Structure 1
Amino acid sequence: MTLTVRPRRRFVPAIAVAVAAAVLVTAFPTAAQAEPNEISSTKVAQLRQTLESAAGQYLEAEGLLTKAKTEQAALNQKLVVADNRYQRAKNSVQKYAAEAYKAGRLGVIGVMLNANTPESFLARSAALEKMTARDEARISELVSARKEIDSTKAEIDNRVREQNKQLSEMAKLRSATERALSAVGGYTTTGWVDPYAPTAAPAKRNSDGSWPSQGCTVNDPTPANGCITPRTLHALQQAQRWFDHYVSCYRSGDMYEHPKGRACDFSSEPDGFKNFSSKGANKLYGDKLASFFVKNASRLGVMYVIWYCKIWLAGSGWKTYRSAGGNCGDDPAGDHTNHVHLSVL
């Protein structure tokens, strides 16, 4: 039996195909491969956990503060109505008291005693009972109006105390976020805000003004193919009304909000994440998108926005942020110079 040796030239097409495939993968990475991965150092991880916790609590306190202010405004209107009612009742009682003083109660009793017939006496007795009931109604209305005023003022005082409590809590949370950022060199800075940024439709809140607790329960419509929260979906859909570049939300390997369905990365380049810092029109696109989220933070439940080496936090404003260290843009993914990161409560 003669052994057959496969010609060497047959390996050339196979090698060429493999090389070509590798080149294609390198030149045109898939969406999953191109997703930005921020450096997950211990310091950065602790920072992001602190920011998530503090920003989330801040939004809850802000919601309760809004509720207390709204209720106080309604109570102030109720107090005006109660005070008007009290003044009318007071004037009525004062007028009756003056008339009773002039006529004298004995005069009324004398009229009763001077009745000539039993029928006349009964008629006058019934009239006196009506007068007494009317007098009691006047006094009862006065007392009731006074109680309503006192009760409403007490409720207003409670709302003011609640507001002071929430303001104090918000101040503490603001200090916590600023201390955490200061530890990694996050000093206060300014961020450009687009004066023409569109207004988003507000996300659903609880009746008390707080944000409902939500899990990763709805399908992520982006190429990430995972799950996100209903509030994240709302923020995504609102943004996509005006911004149409590539976006990805769910990411299982991330240690921050992405696996919880509470974060999205919006590429500043039209067709996906690139390993370079955006410039020109695409940099302006990112600026405008970041401005949109900042302007609508209270409407969408935004905890923080990261863009171009800066982070905007609810209640604290813009701070510097470079998780990769070094110069801004050394790491486009970590410095967020190629995408806008959004985290919602």
Structure 2
Amino acid sequence: MTAPLRRWLTPVVAVLAAFAVFAGPMPATAAPNDPKPAEHDDDPPMLNDLIEATTRDYSKAKAKLEKSKKRQLRLAVEVRSAQADLDALSPQVAQIATQSYRTGRVGAIAMLLQSSAPDSFINRASALDELNLVNDKKLGEVNAIKLRAEQAKLALDAEVREQKKLTNDMARKKSEAEKSLRLVGGVGLTGGLVDATSPVARIGPNRSSDGGWKPESCSQNDPTTSGCITPRTLHMYKEVKRAGFNRFVGCFRPGDKFEHPKGRACDWSLQNSGFSPWHNNDTRIYGNNLAAFLVRNADRLGVYYVIWNRQIWFAATERWSSYSGPSNHTDHVHVSLL
């Protein structure tokens, strides 16, 4: 059942620590009329689908890596075999080289001229041809083995490079999946039911030259109540709406010492009216995606912290941790700004 709207008028959280966020200089603001930044898909995949796809890619890359290792081993054996053949032929090659050095072309002619009879001359010529054939065969074997070894070595080097590329690719994809999962709160918070990407928000007002955020007063009319909010909160409100989150929201609320009476916080309900805990995929995914949008754009919007589904995320630490305040925040996403 939907709780009365006065539930929202109760104190939201007891924040145990205060953090200051300092960020580097940001790029120029996107054009105001750009309804959806180019780097955001119109229909991004769910994070659990992305993780599944990444896991499948990891398995494929791992299989290729194992295949590469087996071929690497086979080529290494081939190189060693070729080297052994070369080593075995080395004495024969040395003998041929020595003989060629001693005889040469002049030595061969002299050997023929030493024949006193025609038959002897023919026999010596045949022997010389046979020797040349043997020499050519041995040298051919050496060259063939050497070429085979060199080709195998080149193939082995290419295989090693491919193996390293596959390994690095696996590490990168695994790291990206883990980082993306951690950023939005992990499976424990989202169940993986969250878009893999979010629209990119335009940068909030009053950003200082050093990348920090200048203090603001509660000077703008709150579009959700009769109270006031800061210019940065109003900007955040408009950016969340621009990203497609159009369900009930309340910002200013008097009575406590935290960000609501300062106009620096909003509670984004999962319902079109009032507040009620998430109870199906629609409401859970809505809360997951809204929290993910705020976290992914924290540095552009000046987010202080986000609370959703019993977890709190501080921009200063960029980590989710367990939250056990007076409200478990299963019925809305709370965001406070600097």
Instruction: Give TM-score, length-normalised by structure 1.
Output: 0.46
Which of structures 1 and 2 has the bigger CA Rg? Answer: 2
Higher relative contact order (CA 8 A, sep 6+): 2
TM-score by length of 2: 0.47
